[in-house]
Amino acid sequence: MKRRGSGILLHITSLPSPYGIGDLGPWAYKFVDFLSETKQSFWQILPLNPTSGGFGNSPYSSPSAFAGNPLLISPDLLVEDGLLLKSDIEDDSPFPDERVDYNAVTEYKYRLLGMAYENYKKRVRDYEFERFSNENSYWLDDYALFISLKEHFNGIVWSDWPEDIRNRNESAIKEWKEKLRDGILIRKFSQYIFFKQWSSLKTYCKGKNIRVIGDLPIYVSYDSSDVWTNPQIFKLDNNKRPTFVAGVPPDYFSKTGQRWGNPIYRWDVLRESGYSWWIRRVEHNLKLFDIIRLDHFRGFVAYWEVPAGEETALNGKWIEVPVEDFFRTLFKRFSFLPIIAEDLGLITPDVREIMNRFEFPGMKVLLFAFGDDFPNGAYLPHNYEKNCVVYTGTHDNNTVKGWFTGEAHHEDKKRLFRYIGREVEERDVHREFIRLAMMSVANMAVIPMQDILGLGEEARMNLPATSHGNWRWRLLSDQITPSLIKEIREMTETYGRA
């Protein structure tokens, strides 16, 4: 990340495809070609973990910190592999192109995966699948059983399962593995296919000199395979329910703070184990991505702990983490640790000290540069250092045009116009933000695809603290034009990021 470069933020779900959701198939490869043609160096995505309607389809709330999302499996590649017929993937009721309908997509994709698995069973023994299952058994066995149990018990939270399986009694595990054998196998098969397709795409990226930036959420969901399997590393009571949950105190995003509800880690227990769970998680992600964005980085220094019974995050308190010991342990295990620290929110000097000590680049968001919330100018480009990543906005922000037309006050716009030396119209404001990011000293500039296209609020990916209507935006195939390619390539070359 020392070399000057730029990239685009676009999650896999937002890619075009005829199957209702972006996937790891043909359009993923076309997008890599687009990145290459525009002289980009990076493709940033959101977490690849499974999502569900119960979590609002958020990639940051998943039943597994290790598994891949089966909805991202490409039907076209299943046909190429001979696991489906072309006629199997032709649907009489076409999906909308502009938005993801998660319910319809889930029903369709899981039906296809069931058919692919039945066809797969007719083949001769597959040593690749066996090797994948063995190499990933440390998370795959428990994940496949967990999801099968969730289905068997009609989706209820794992702490409400019968006591023997809730507590993972050895005899109960053995009994349920046998009882749910078929369900377990199809879930392992789906994971095998997902990681096979992802590996091929990642190899293609490497061939085009595109480095993939992945996203690693700090916390895991309570109703997950991770907590069910490793209850000892979380703050739970005797009934294995959270005693404290994660969140952040009041800040410029929220007057009452944010109560996320994720279980809190027992860092004392993690430390005693040499952080073995975290080491496996980081190792897993380093195989998937070239660079990892650590979400909510300040939580690795000190985290906001909220009693589980509280409705808001107001009555929480800061708890320190053995951060130096943790990262030194990681550096002993991994000689190279390519991390971007997500340092947005209330950042204290001790967080900055850790970032500087380990030389982790932080994030600068241009949408924060011209409002009242940051009077010290921390997000204005002339205050950047080289070792940082500048974004016009992130998946949690409005688009630049959406901000300009719906959120920016008169004074915000005056600050923007004063900074760039002239007034700009709505149709050009996204270009000015991209130009400011590209021309800055930041080693890395990453632009959301929505801002590349100059789209408005309707293209926003996520509105924090809401659980419906998010993660649905999709790129349309005709939005990538020769003129767009030329414009982005020229700007990339002009500002020395090619």
Q: Which residues pair with 265 in a beta bridge?
A: 234
Amino acid at 321: V
Would you call 396 a catalytic residue per the annotation? yes
Rounded Cα gap, residues 159 and 308, in angstroms: 15
User: Under 8 Å CB-to-CB from 174, ≥6 apart: which residues?
Assistant: none
pLDDT digits (tens, 9 = 90+) for 220-263: 999 999 999 999 999 999 999 999 999 999 876 678 888 999 99
Would you call 423 a catalytic residue per the annotation? no
Number of domains the chain is built from: 1
Catalytic option among 295, 343, 432, 451: 295
Would you call 342 a catalytic residue per the annotation? yes
DSSP code, position 322: -
CB < 8 Å & 24+ apart, contacts of 78-83: 78/112, 78/116, 78/193, 82/119, 83/116, 83/119, 83/120, 83/193
CATH code assigned at 29 = 3.20.20.80
Q: What is the pLDDT along the chain (498 residues), one digit of tens a residue?
A: 678 999 999 999 999 999 999 999 999 999 999 999 999 999 999 999 999 887 789 999 999 999 999 999 999 999 999 999 999 998 767 899 999 999 999 999 999 999 999 999 988 788 999 999 999 999 999 999 999 999 999 999 999 999 999 999 999 999 999 999 999 999 999 999 999 999 999 999 999 999 999 999 999 999 999 999 999 999 999 999 999 999 999 876 678 888 999 999 999 999 999 999 999 999 999 999 999 999 999 999 999 999 999 999 999 999 999 999 999 999 999 989 999 999 987 788 999 999 999 999 999 999 999 987 776 788 999 999 999 999 999 999 999 999 999 999 999 999 999 999 999 999 999 999 999 999 999 999 999 999 999 999 999 999 987 888 999 999 999 999 999 999 999 999 999 999
Instruction: Residue 449: give the domain boundaries.
Output: 5-494
Q: What pTM was computed for the model?
A: 0.96
Catalytic option among 23, 142, 223, 342: 342
How far CA 58 is from CA of 346, 461, 490, in Å, comes to 23, 10, 35
Catalytic option among 33, 396, 412, 457: 396
Rounded Cα gap, residues 183 and 188, in angstroms: 9
CB < 8 Å & 24+ apart, contacts of 158-165: 158/223, 158/227, 158/228, 159/239, 159/240, 159/241
